[in-house]
Structure 1
Amino acid sequence: MTTLEITLRGAQVLTAEGLTACDLSLSNGRIADAPSGRAVDLDGYMILPGIVDIHGDGFERHLAPRRGAMKDLAQGMIATEAELAANGITTAVLAQFYSWEGGMRGPEFADQVFAALTAVREHVETDLHAQLRFEMSLLDDYPAVEDMVARHGIGYVVFNDHLPHKALAAGKKPQGLTGQALRIGRNPEKHLEYIQDLHARLPEVGPALDRLSTGLAARGVRLGSHDDATAEGRRQARARGMTIAEFPETLEAAEEARAGGDAVIMGAPNLVRGGSHKGNVSAVDLVAMGLVDALASDYHYPSIRRAAFLLADGGVCDLATAWGLISSGPARLLGLSDRGTLRPGQRADLVILAADTRRVVATMAEGRISYMAGAVARRFIG
């Protein structure tokens, strides 16, 4: 689809000063500093920067709605992109697991997901990026991870450790292990032996992780940690070049991240539902304390837009600041200096909302329509 040469008039446009009635012109896929093309009347609508979703795994429902049901993952990826666009997301980081949990979180599925992403990336409007979420306890898989990152050009790797160490250290069978094993077609006893072996090798993880993170950083890969629970854990992550803290579980971990100059990402669903479903630190509280650099969709794409408005409506911060947490903030963390605001010269990434309902009615990525529905279409088409 070609880019639109167009001037949008009559809408409330979000600038650094807030919503302002002004024209917004688009030319050659960029925000223009002078009128361009034909005019479209958007009275009754709001125009905001396109959303940059820095971490989302809501695509899983499209790629694997049932075990073994989806053979062509590229078609599921196209459905994912349609959902992203319908939620005002113009840049999306798809976070794929590489875990001992297996199944759609195992290495084979991860390889298929990244291949599907490569296959569709040039055929959709939304700018799609890959993130690899790697379970650091998988010591034997470190060479395979380096290879996967290189083959698929993955620019963002996040490390986490979700092994149930407490139960394993006590010699107990972790809760839910049997169901987890059966879901991935693995004998529960063998699965327990497998994760017990991983737990036993925990002392080896630190040195191996030092080498892996150093190698990835040398390639220019952006590194982060996931679910930091303590200040010491965050300091260790920072020492390994993991300068992004995704979803810290405690206030002390978030404060340590800020004190050390690291970026903090929190999940929008945490904020929308009024707290973490696991009892972790509240995203609203961290935003109010100025400790959050970006909000991410996590597992629910619609929440990211709702979170920004909840912050503004609740007086936690103004709309420009709240929206910055889902546009300019994540763009900065990803090194994407060409998007996140509606300033002249930036990519023409924007979302159009009905002013009365705040419903997404149109999304444009680099000046191309990725989503449009309802009465606003008549404004564009005539």
Structure 2
Amino acid sequence: MMAPGLRLKGARVLLPDGLARVPLTICDGVVCDGATAPDARDVDLTGYLVMPGIVDAHGDGFERHLAPRRGAMKDLDQGLVAAEAELAANGITTAVLAQFYSWEGGMRGPDFATRVLAALDAVRDSVVTDLHAQLRFEVPMLDDYGTFRALAAAHGVRHVVFNDHLPHDALDKGKRPPRLTGHALRIGKNPDTHLSDMQALHARMDEVPAALDDLCAGLAADGVRMGSHDDRSAQDRAAWRGRGVRISEFPETLAAAEAAREGDDLVILGAPNVVRGGSHNGNVSALDLVAMGLCDALASDYHYPSPRRAAFLLADSGVLDLPGAWWLISGGPAQGLGLTDRGDLTRGKRADLVVLDAETRRIGATLSGGRVSYMSGAVAARFLR
């Protein structure tokens, strides 16, 4: 069913060159020329801003909807539906859900990843927000490389990011990693067995580079866009780039971010880092990297309200103008993820947009593909007139 034609009038609309008080017409789910839609229904949005929909390139905030309490993970479908409602209420029209595939087990384990992908396949067509899966693969899992690639292909996963969360320093020294016992018990595993498994993975790390070369080549052939998580150095970034891994997610150091920029790689930073004014774990400040021009996209990471808040903070503080700040949460991530049909409100693009109160900046409505995914009472009254 085609979405009804709408002509949004009276609002200030964020176009590539800035805010303008112009009508915005939506036809069949895309931004169109008003002259081609004479029957479009007028909606007066005086007092509001209309901004491009937020494209969230990496977020794991959905996890709390899948397991609101420990062990309460039976109905993942409904958890994803609840997560989609939160995404929409925060102006996110396209969301990449970052799911672990890790030796860490529990909600990060391979079995849970398989369940999440199946649930996402089941609900994707019944929700309005455009949901995509990202798999975060732990590179020490050598025995899983083939299984992992097959899983990604079976579910049409087009975004993969590589991690390594093994505590190599402690394992190198023969020490018991911090918090091992508590973590093992939380995932229902004997602590000694958990330690033994970690040691076995650590002992084979010299095999990882060659295996990664093959896995990355295979994923690239499958059409998967690949990223590395938490790059620590220019050497790390260069090694990943050599494998065709062209996205640097949350680089931990200035050197890694500069290397990504010099190599023309996409740099994704955490919006919560910008809002907080710095990293929660002492890494390089995302705010500083944005000011230095070393950022292509801001992602929600673990907090869905943060992209919108970060964009306005950057604009209000003069770090960027509003079009540049909002681009980091709309057009920038859209381009980086290959979603060229969205990211701005020019003609022919998907009608992905956010309606915000011009004074409070609270979200009044979110439309994805011209369909309403969220709407507050005040804005709903405008649409019903």
Common fold: TM-score over 0.5: yes
2:111 to 108, 113, 124: 108
Partner Cα separation in structure 2 for residue 179 and residue 309 of structure 1: 40
1:215 to 194, 208, 218: 218
| 1:15-73 Cα distance to aligned partner (Å, 9 max, x none) | 12211111111111110111531111100000000000000000000011223213110
Structure 1 residue 273 corresponds to structure 2 residue 276: yes
Partner Cα separation in structure 1 for residue 192 and residue 252 of structure 2: 31
1:79 to 82, 85, 108: 82
The AA in structure 1 aligned to 2:304 is Y
SS at match of 1:375: helix
Question: What do you get for the CA RMSD once the two structures are aligned?
Answer: 0.9
Contact 1:50–1:349 (Cα < 8 Å) also in 2: yes
Partner Cα separation in structure 1 for residue 24 and residue 267 of structure 2: 32
Match of 1:356 in 2: 359
Match of 1:48 in 2: 51
Match of 2:209 in 1: 206
**Uncovered stretches (5+) of structure 2, i.e. residues with no partner:** none
SS at match of 2:377: coil
Normalised by the length of structure 2, the TM-score is 0.98
Contact 1:2–1:368 (Cα < 8 Å) also in 2: no
Partner Cα separation in structure 2 for residue 197 and residue 278 of structure 1: 28
Match of 1:366 in 2: 369
Match of 2:179 in 1: 176
The AA in structure 1 aligned to 2:347 is P
Structure 1 residue 194 corresponds to structure 2 residue 197: yes
Deviates more, 1:257-266 or 1:31-40: 31-40
Instruction: Please list, as runs of the form range in 1=range in 2, the aligned pairs for 1:292-311 lying within 5 A after superposition.
Output: 292-311=295-314
Structure 1 residue 99 corresponds to structure 2 residue 85: no
Contact 1:98–1:135 (Cα < 8 Å) also in 2: yes
1:125 to 125, 128, 150: 128
Structure 1 residue 319 corresponds to structure 2 residue 314: no
Contact 1:224–1:244 (Cα < 8 Å) also in 2: yes
Partner Cα separation in structure 2 for residue 242 and residue 366 of structure 1: 30
Normalised by the length of structure 1, the TM-score is 0.99
For residue 147 of structure 1, report the CA deviation from its aligned partner. Answer: 1.2
Partner Cα separation in structure 2 for residue 4 and residue 93 of structure 1: 27
Match of 1:65 in 2: 68
Partner Cα separation in structure 1 for residue 70 and residue 243 of structure 2: 36
Match of 1:3 in 2: 3
**Uncovered stretches (5+) of structure 1, i.e. residues with no partner:** none
For residue 2 of structure 1, report the CA deviation from its aligned partner. Answer: 4.7
Structure 1 residue 332 corresponds to structure 2 residue 325: no
Identity %: 66
For residue 374 of structure 1, report the CA deviation from its aligned partner. Answer: 2.2
Instruction: Please list, as runs of the form range in 1=range in 2, the aligned pairs for 1:235-250 lying within 5 A after superposition.
Output: 235-250=238-253
For residue 4 of structure 1, report the CA deviation from its aligned partner. Answer: 2.6
Structure 1 residue 251 corresponds to structure 2 residue 259: no
The AA in structure 2 aligned to 1:9 is K
Partner Cα separation in structure 2 for residue 180 and residue 60 of structure 1: 17
Partner Cα separation in structure 2 for residue 246 and residue 338 of structure 1: 23
| 1:243-287 Cα distance to aligned partner (Å, 9 max, x none) | 000000000000001111111000001111111111001001111
2:379 to 355, 359, 376: 376
